[in-house]
A and B are shown apart, each in its own frame.
Chain A
Amino acid sequence: MKFSINKSDIVDVLSKIQGLTSRKSSLAITECIKIKAQGDNVHLAATDLETGYEGTLPALVEAPGVIAISAKKFYEIIREFPSTAIEIQETENRWINIGNKNVQFNLKSMNPDDFPDRPQIESIDFIEIESAALKDMIDKSLVIGGMGEDKKPHINGIWFERLTDQSPAIIRMVSTDGGRLSKYDFVCSHDMQLSAAESVLIPKKGLSEVSKFLGSKEKIQAGPYESYFVVKSAMEIFYIRMLEGSFPAYDTILFRDEGIDIEMEKEPFLYMLKRMSILCTDNYRAANFRFEDNNFIINAANPEIGDSTEDMIVEYAGQAFEAAFNPRLFIDAVNGIDDNLLKLNIITPKKACLINGAENSAYVCAIMPMRV
């Protein structure tokens, strides 16, 4: 096998797949990237056994063939390579020569036949969506991470739904860590074809890897296929092994008629939260929120450090309301809202506080108080 490739064509991809290949798995071959040279292209493949990537790049192929080579070392060599054109050649006994006239690397490689097979994906009923829009959905949902080593599927994964019985149809992602939840609706344009399908649970880890590749104006395809969630563009394909399990009922949490709405300006609230979180530590994360007589007071008292208080005028005429929250969760939520005006909804100190944009409620967060 022998081909020549442009550094700028490949270095970016190699950097992005490191998240997959650097993961420890039971198979040593998953630390490798598989490269297949054929025609005018090279096909790259990487996997951590849960999430797989395949992509096609232009290359000058002199002799076709397949190799499997350490993704980390290959990336480091390419990244530091002095010239644009890089020649890659299998010499003998799986030795791979990478170089140009002046620089020569010889790397051991592995048997490409050992590389895990990828699922054969036929034509599927994909959703067509702009790459940047899907990235936005994923990134907003990933703000709520999979708390540490929690094993629960609904915490490790993002719930992916299609709401086709309404017009326009909606693609929805729901994410939770057990203490808070976010919902983001992508409203489909009328020309978008969206057929009904079961909701699925996609691992957050896999989506965070996919997100690195998204962001362009290009239309891409996404959807579940057998046990995989597949994301596909013209030159690249991802398949993420979905999680088994269901998502807890969240409707009653998010969609409620009771409670009091409070409007707030985003920027001042955000800065207030940032100040109030200064005294929050890993061991003590609570700040007291109090609404009373058109006044909003946050008070954070950390027995180990000290305390802080701040107030802000809001429109609030209801009964005095008091509950403790982790301000950092509010910071995350507010950062995901695009409107300049926020709407909070509170009921009781034992129920979640809802927060979304006053105009646009495509993105809603529910944040549970802290037990004090």
Chain B
Amino acid sequence: MTRTTILHIDMDAFFASVEQLDNPALKGQSLVVGGLSGRGVVAAASYEARRYGIHSAMPIFQARQRCADLVIVPPRRKRYAQLSRRIMDRLSNFSPLVEPVSIDEAYLDASGCGRLFGTGRQMAMMIKQQIFEDVRLSCSVGVAPNKFLAKIASDFNKPDGLTVIEPDQVLSFIDELEVGKVPGVGTRTREQLSKLGVHTLGNVRGLSTDLLVRKLGKFGYRLMSLAHGQDDSPVTPDSPAKSFSSEITLDQDTRDRFLLENYLLAQAQSVGRQLRLHGKNARTITLKLKTSDFRSHTRSRTLNRAVNANEAVFQAARELLNRFVINLPVRLVGIGATSLQDEHAPAQADLFDETDGNRFHKWENLDRAVDAISERFGGRSVTRGSLTVSAKLRK
């Protein structure tokens, strides 16, 4: 049996690095990518900014407090996606088993590629070199016998790092590894483990599985396997999307239902478009709200039929909003679509003409026409009248 070798490739401060790449004036600057309004959160921070303790998911205003001459750049998702595709394409030249985890990170199963590309280390070096030559961006790579360790390894020596964990180094690596670095171990789990005298992942091996499962539930089994260096989760290429979503942090917190509805309309358009683009229908629509106390609230509803028309997504989300009691001003609204099924899956036909199914079917056709126009003439060519009105109102 061939030895399993997994690579985890993680782009260094991806969004921020892309901005520095496209605008050389930004090189060496403390830079974050995020909303300009000062109400958003940091999507990515350059390494220069990280020295001030700025990290992603931090509110922009906090980041500003930490670094006076912080440069804030609005995100350009399209550009990131374009580069991401090129990087993923590169990776697929090395192995058919590439699993993109997010826009800037992927697993690659290199088992059995030894004869073509040499050892895991040699392969990782080639990948780093090729990506740099192609898009002028650096990445960090972890090489290990499984996904879990590969991910930890890539984080070990950032930026532009390369860390290899050979099979015979696995246990000593785990013995040193802070348990808080293990995915799934949050602050609370770490506290619980600390009470048991566990500080490194290696310490976990000293406990009984029984005790661990009693304390941590099902995750106890997983943690015990990891402590023994075992993780057999496979690299699964192209795992089909399980959900689509869209959300927006508002310019100003609001309790105004009319305004919130209008934002929802825009989110519904985005979600509907993603669904149609991927040839999917969704049966479950989720409304996500974040209130001014930063608490997230979700409400979802499973529909009788799977939909992808903007109008259908919007109606479901609006109904959820109507039933939500707004006690605090809302700072973020979003819509998620799950329970996806193929758009060509058979759907119950309607007896009567005016029912939802037929109506949404007509909306869907309209949406597709608008999608096609937007594709040719840009995203704003055709939009809902109420969205243009609300855009003006907000200004």
Q: How far is the CA of A370 from the CA of B349 in the complex (A)?
A: 5
Which residues 365-395 of B sit at the A interface, judged by CB distance below 8 A?
Answer: none
**Could you tell me the distance in whole angstroms from the C-beta of B257 to the nearest C-beta in chain A?**
19
Segment 320-349 of B: residues with Cβ below 8 Å from A: 339, 341-342, 344-349
Residues of the B chain whose Cβ atoms lie less than 8 Å from the Cβ of A368: 348-351
Contact size range, B:
20 to 34
Chain A hits for B342, CB < 8 A: 303
Contact flag A371-B303 (CB < 8 Å), given A178-B352, A178-B356: no
Whole-angstrom distance between the Cβ of A220 and the nearest chain B Cβ:
32
Known contacts being A148-B302, A149-B301, is A352 close to B346, with CB within 8 Å? no
Contact digits for A322-348, partner B, Cβ 8 Å, 1 yes 0 no: 001010000000000000000000000
B364 CB, min distance to chain A CBs, angstroms? 12
A319 within 8 A of B: no
Q: Which of A41-49, A186-194, A279-287 contacts B (4 or more CB under 8 A)?
A: A279-287
Are A150 and B304 within 8 A (Cβ)?
yes
Cβ-based interface call for B355 (8 A)? yes
The 10 closest A-B pairs by CB, nearest first: A286-B346, A370-B346, A179-B348, A368-B349, A248-B352, A147-B304, A283-B341, A372-B346, A178-B355, A148-B304
B residues within 8 A CB of A248? 351-352, 354
Q: In the bound complex, how far is the Cα of B353 from the Cα of A253, in angstroms?
A: 12
When the two chains form their complex, are residues B349 and A350 in contact, meaning their CB atoms are under 8 A apart? yes
Shortest B235–chain A CB gap in Å is 23
A180 to B283, CA, bound (A): 20
Q: Check A176 for interface membership: any CB of B closer than 8 A.
A: yes
- Whether B346 pairs with A285 at a CB distance below 8 angstroms is yes
Residue of B nearest to A287 (CB): B346
Cβ B347 vs Cβ A371 within 8 A: yes
Docked complex: A5-40 residues within 8 A CB-CB of B: none
B386 CB to nearest A CB, Å: 22
Whether A178 contacts B347 by the Cβ 8 Å rule is no
**A350 / chain B contacts, CB cutoff of 8 Å:** 349
Q: Does B229 interact with chain A (Cβ within 8 Å)? A: no
Are A179 and B346 CB-contacts (below 8 A) given A150-B304, A283-B341?
no
A181 CA / B339 CA spacing, docked (Å) = 27
Instruction: Tell me, rounded to whole Å, the shortest Cβ–Cβ distance linking A247 to chain B.
Output: 10
**CB pairs A–B below 8 angstroms (19 shown):** A148-B302, A148-B303, A149-B301, A149-B319, A176-B351, A178-B304, A178-B348, A178-B351, A179-B348, A179-B349, A179-B350, A179-B351, A179-B357, A253-B351, A283-B341, A324-B346, A370-B346, A371-B348, A372-B346
* Chain B residues whose CB sits within 8 angstroms of the CB of A284 once the complex forms: 341, 345-346
- Mask, A156-185, CB within 8 Å of B = 1, is 000000000000000000001011110000
A359, B347: Cα distance in complex, Å: 32
A250 and B357 CA atoms in complex are apart in Å by 18
Q: Is A152 an interface residue (CB 8 A)?
A: yes
Contact B347 A370 (CB under 8 A): yes
Closest Cβ neighbor of A150 among chain B residues: B304
Question: Contact: A369 with B304, CB < 8 Å?
Answer: no
Q: What CA separation (Å) do A282 and B341 show in the bound complex?
A: 10
Q: Are B346 and A178 in contact (CB under 8 A)?
A: no
Query: In the complex, what residues of B have CB within 8 A of residue A181's CB?
Result: 351
Alpha-carbon gap, A152 to B355, bound state (A): 9
Q: What is the CA–CA distance of A368 and B357 in the complex, to the nearest angstrom?
A: 13
By the criterion CB–CB under 8 Å, are B349 and A371 in contact?
A: yes
Query: How far is it, in angstroms, between the C-alpha of A282 and the C-alpha of B350 when the chains are bound?
Result: 18
Which residues of chain A have C-beta atoms less than 8 A from B319's C-beta? Answer: 149
A284 to chain B, nearest CB (A): 6
Complex Cα spacing A250 to B351, Å? 9
Interface residues of A in 63-112 (CB under 8 A from B): none
Q: List the A side residues contacting B351 at CB < 8 Å.
A: 176, 178-181, 248, 250, 253, 352, 366, 368
Q: Whose C-beta in chain A lies nearest to the C-beta of B357?
A: A178
For residue B355, which residues in chain A have a CB less than 8 angstroms away from its CB? 152, 178
Chain A residue with Cβ nearest B361:
A371
Greatest chain A CB density within 10 A among B301, B341, B346 is at: B346
Residues of A near B339 (CB, < 8 A) are: 283
Cα A253 to Cα B283 in complex, Å, equals: 28
Q: Which of A229-261 contact B (CB under 8 A)?
A: 248, 250, 253
A369 to B348, CA, bound (A): 6
Tell me which residues across on chain B come within 8 A of A326, comparing CB atoms: 348
Contacts of A286 in B (CB 8 A): 345-346
Q: Write out the residue numbers on chain A whose beta carbons fall within 8 Å of the beta carbon of B306.
A: 283
In the assembled complex, how far is the CB of residue B88 from the closest CB belonging to chain A, in whole angstroms?
A: 27
Nearest-CB residue, chain A, relative to B349: A368
Residues of A within 8 A of B283 (CB): 282-283
Please name all residues of chain B whose beta carbon is closer than 8 Å to the beta carbon of A180 when the two chains form the complex.
351
In the complex, A299 Cα to B113 Cα: how many Å?
44
Interface residues of A in 271-292 (CB under 8 A from B): 282-286
Closest CB of chain B to A345's CB: distance in Å?
A: 15
Query: For A176, what are the chain B residues with a Cβ–Cβ distance below 8 Å?
Result: 351-352
Partner of A370, one of B303, B341, B348, B354: B348
